[in-house]
A and B are shown apart, each in its own frame.
Chain A
Amino acid sequence: MTAPIISVQRVSKTFGRGAGMTHALEDVSLETQPEEFVSIIGPSGCGKSTLLRIVGDLVEPSAGTVAVKGKSPHQARLDRDYGIVFQTPVLYEWRTVLRNVELPLEIMGRPRAEWDGRAEAMLQMVGLKAFQQHYPWQLSGGMQQRVAIARALVFNPSILLMDEPFGALDEMTRERMNLELMNIWSQTSATVLFITHSIPEAVFLSSRVMVMSPRPGRIERTIMIDLPRPRTAQTRLVPRFFELVTAVREGLREDPAVAAGHDFVEEPV
Chain B
Amino acid sequence: MARTDSIAAPDRVPVPLRRGIWRFLLSASVIVMIAIIWEAAKTLFAIPAYKLPHIYEIAGEFLRRGNQGELWLGIFAQNAAYTAWEALVGFLLGGTVGLGLAVTFAHSRLLERGLLPYVIASQTVPILAIAPMVILWLGTSWFSKSVIAAYLTFFPVTINMLRGFKSVDPDALSLMRALAAAPRQVFLKLQFPAALPYLFTALRISATASVIGAIVGELPVGSRYGMGVVIITAAQYNTWRSSNLWAAIIVSASIGIVFYHVVATIERRIVRWRPADAEGQTA
Contacts and interface: CB of A to CB of B under 8 A. Distances in A.
Interface of A: 53, 56-58, 77-78, 80, 82-84, 86, 88, 90, 92-95, 103-104, 106-108, 130-131, 134-135, 137-143, 173
Contacts of B7: 130
Interface of B: 1, 3-5, 7, 9-10, 169, 171-172, 174-181, 185, 189-190, 193-194, 196, 271, 273-275
B93 to A, nearest CB: 27
Contacts of A131: 9
A125 to B, nearest CB: 16
Contact of B172 (A77, A90, A130, A139): A90
A137 B1 contact: yes
14 contacts: A53-B174, A88-B171, A92-B172, A92-B194, A94-B271, A107-B179, A107-B185, A107-B189, A108-B179, A134-B10, A135-B273, A137-B274, A140-B4, A141-B3
Contacts of B179: 80, 103-104, 107-108
Contacts of A130: 7, 9
Given A56-B178, A80-B179, A130-B9, A92 B171 contact: no
B5 A84 contact: no
A94 B200 CA distance: 15
Nearest to A80: B180
A108 B181 CA distance: 8
Contact of A90 (B175, B271, B273): B175
Contacts of A139: 3
A78 B180 contact: yes
A138 B175 CA distance: 22
A82 B179 CA distance: 8
Given A90-B171, A94-B196, A103-B189, A137 B176 contact: no
A134 B9 contact: yes
Nearest to A138: B10
The 3 closest A-B pairs by CB, nearest first: A140-B3, A94-B273, A84-B178
A45 to B, nearest CB: 18
Contacts of B194: 92, 94
Contacts of B193: 92, 94
A130 B193 CA distance: 25
Nearest to B176: A107
A97 B233 CA distance: 58
A134 B178 CA distance: 25
A141 B4 CA distance: 9
B188 to A, nearest CB: 10
A90 B7 CA distance: 22
Nearest to A140: B3
A58, A80, A82, A131 — most chain B CB neighbours (10 Å): A58
Contact of A84 (B175, B189, B273): B175
A107 B171 CA distance: 17
A177 B196 CA distance: 33
A92 B176 contact: no
B174 A86 contact: yes
A174 to B, nearest CB: 13
Contacts of A80: 179-180
A141 B177 CA distance: 24
A130 B7 CA distance: 8
Given A90-B175, A92-B190, A94-B193, A143 B5 contact: yes
Contacts of B189: 92, 103, 106-107
B9 A95 contact: no
Given A94-B196, A137-B275, 5 more contacts: A80-B180, A84-B174, A92-B193, A108-B179, A173-B5
Nearest to B277: A137
* Residue of B273, B274, B275 with most chain A CB atoms under a 10 A cut-off: B273
A95 B273 CA distance: 7
Contacts of B172: 90, 92
B136 to A, nearest CB: 45
A78 B179 CA distance: 8
Contacts of A58: 174, 177-178
B186 to A, nearest CB: 9
A138 B3 CA distance: 7
Nearest to A144: B3
A173 B3 CA distance: 13
A146 B61 CA distance: 65
A80 B177 CA distance: 10
Contact of B178 (A77, A106, A135, A143): A77
A140 to B, nearest CB: 4
Contact of B171 (A77, A86, A95, A106): A86
Contacts of A137: 1, 273-275
Contacts of A103: 179, 189
Contacts of B171: 86, 88, 90
